[in-house]
Chains A and B, each alone.
Chain A
Amino acid sequence: MTADAGHAQRLTELLRENAELLIDKWVGVVAAALRGRSARTELEADFREFYAALVPLVGHDGKNISGPEFTEIRSLLEEYSRSRVRAGFTPSETASSVFSLKEPVFELVENDASPEVFQQALAFSRLLDAFGLLTFESYSRAREDIIREQSEQLLELTTPVVKIWEGVLAVPLVGTLDSARTQVVMEKLLEMLVETGSEHAIIDITGVFAVDTQVAQHLLKTVVAARLMGAECIVSGIRPQIAQTIVALGIEFGDIVTKASLADALRHALRREGVEVVRREVV
């Protein structure tokens, strides 16, 4: 790097001298590509920061951008990608924001007489490629973070434990059951049993479309754990297909009470609680 430090300086000089022009062109290209979805002033502020961090890095060829001298530009680009994700831009739009600087730089180099500058511009282009890929990576990382957050929220949202009678809880399970979700249900249900002092819990799986051995195992464990705490679980709403799967897989429900519908399960629980439901003559 020290060998061509002198030449690299030529490109740095060019970039410094023509900073305003380059930034203006860069912003112009990107703004046109985004078709007004991002404010020009905002882009300009962002790009000015990038540019300031970028110019001292001229001369690196972008093969390894994990060094300490790249910390600033990396954090800038990561922040930029994250905001792009939240604003709903595509990854290629985000990455091409970086690539778009090449065009004005090459135009500038074309007019320059010294032949070394072309080599330096190529190296600079490789550096930009590396940064473009970095935005791509940060973009997907940011998106994964969002997905993880959402699935956690979903986990919380979709597993309500409700009290439907004095001493009777109900857990209406909806959607696909996986081990993580059944685990959450299990813990929530057991905690609610203690909190409300309920001796009966109905696990209704009407909304569940598929059960595999692991999920069944988790359900059985929940029932056994509840039993250890002194409460009884009733499983209701098993779909015909699921019943077939359960039998085909050879899963034994043992002495666990299963009922066709939530209503049947509630009636059973009430009877066990000593509550009698009587139909009254309606006038």
Chain B
Amino acid sequence: MERVPILKIGGVLLVSIQIDLQDQSVLALQEDLAEKISATGAHGVVIDISAVEIVDSFIGRMFATIASISRLFDADTVVVGMRPAVAITLVELGLTLGGVRTALNLERGMKILGELGRERRGAVTHFGEFPRDA
């Protein structure tokens, strides 16, 4: 089974999905991500799906599940780079991803997370993005 790598950039975890997702890899990703957020104390998760061409309802639900998991660790989730065909499929499947934020590309996704993080932490935490690491 292929595993999806999780990269840490500043206070953000980047999940870039470059493989054909199997249900097993999806479940593994959810576990890995939960551990990684808890370990790093990241304030945001970006899921880059610009390479994903085919989705089914299981993968569609994965986004919502990951968002709920992240929320428990007080981290925001942004899904970036969704292809038109994938968006149409998800709409046809009746999945609207509920509370998950979306952005056109990685750059904007990072920007959104930056703004959200600032809002949440207020002006106080300008120093030290990672209280736990510091």
B88 touches A230 (CB 8 A): no
B86-116 contacts to A, CB under 8 A, are 86-88, 90-92, 96-97, 101-105, 108-109
Inter-chain contacts of B105 with A (CB < 8 A): 197, 230
With CB as the reference atom, state the residue of chain B lying closest to A226: B87
B104 touches A230 (CB 8 A): yes
B108 touches A199 (CB 8 A): yes
A229 touches B108 (CB 8 A): no
Given contacts A194-B104, A229-B102, A230-B108, contact A186 B88 (CB under 8 A): yes
Cα–Cα, bound, A198→B108 (Å):
11
Task: Provide the A215-232 mask, 1 if CB < 8 A to any CB of B, else 0.
Answer: 000000100111111110
Cα–Cα, bound, A191→B86 (Å):
11
Inter-chain contacts of A190 with B (CB < 8 A): 84, 87-88
With CB as the reference atom, state the residue of chain A lying closest to B97: A228
Decide yes or no whether A193 CB sits under 8 A from chain B: yes
Inter-chain contacts of A229 with B (CB < 8 A): 82-84, 87, 102, 104
Given contacts A187-B88, A190-B88, contact A228 B102 (CB under 8 A): yes
Inter-chain contacts of A230 with B (CB < 8 A): 79-80, 82, 101-105, 108-109
Q: Which of B80, B91, B101, B108 contacts A224, CB < 8 Å? A: B91
Inter-chain contacts of B97 with A (CB < 8 A): 228
A224 touches B96 (CB 8 A): yes
Interface residues on A, range: 10 to 19
Given contacts A187-B84, A190-B84, A194-B83, contact A228 B104 (CB under 8 A): no
B96 touches A228 (CB 8 A): yes
Inter-chain contacts of A225 with B (CB < 8 A): 84, 87-88, 90-91
A191 touches B91 (CB 8 A): no
Inter-chain contacts of B88 with A (CB < 8 A): 186-187, 190, 221, 225
Q: How far is the CB of A179 from chain B (nearest CB, A)?
A: 13
Cα–Cα, bound, A187→B84 (Å):
7
Cα–Cα, bound, A227→B104 (Å):
9
Task: Provide the A183-202 mask, 1 if CB < 8 A to any CB of B, else 0.
Answer: 00011001101100111000
A227 touches B102 (CB 8 A): yes
Inter-chain contacts of A187 with B (CB < 8 A): 84, 88
Inter-chain contacts of B104 with A (CB < 8 A): 193-194, 197-199, 229-231
Inter-chain contacts of A197 with B (CB < 8 A): 104-105
Cα–Cα, bound, A191→B82 (Å):
11
Cα–Cα, bound, A73→B91 (Å):
52
Cα–Cα, bound, A80→B42 (Å):
74
Cα–Cα, bound, A225→B104 (Å):
12
Cα–Cα, bound, A190→B83 (Å):
8
With CB as the reference atom, state the residue of chain B lying closest to A189: B84
With CB as the reference atom, state the residue of chain B lying closest to A186: B88
Cα–Cα, bound, A2→B62 (Å):
75
Q: How far is the CB of A182 from chain B (nearest CB, A)?
A: 12
Identify the B interface with A (CB < 8 A). Answer: 79-80, 82-84, 86-88, 90-92, 96-97, 101-105, 108-109
A225-B90, A227-B96, A229-B84 known; 20 new pairs, CB 8 Å cut-off, are A186-B88, A187-B84, A190-B88, A191-B84, A221-B88, A221-B91, A224-B96, A225-B91, A226-B87, A228-B82, A228-B86, A228-B87, A228-B91, A228-B97, A229-B87, A230-B82, A230-B102, A230-B104, A230-B105, A230-B109
Q: Which 6 pairs between the two chains have the least Cβ-Cβ distance?
A: A190-B84, A230-B103, A230-B102, A225-B87, A228-B87, A230-B104
Q: Would you list 5 pairs from A and B whose C-beta atoms are within 8 A, ordered by A residue? A: A197-B105, A198-B104, A225-B91, A226-B87, A230-B105
Identify the A interface with B (CB < 8 A). Answer: 186-187, 190-191, 193-194, 197-199, 221, 224-231
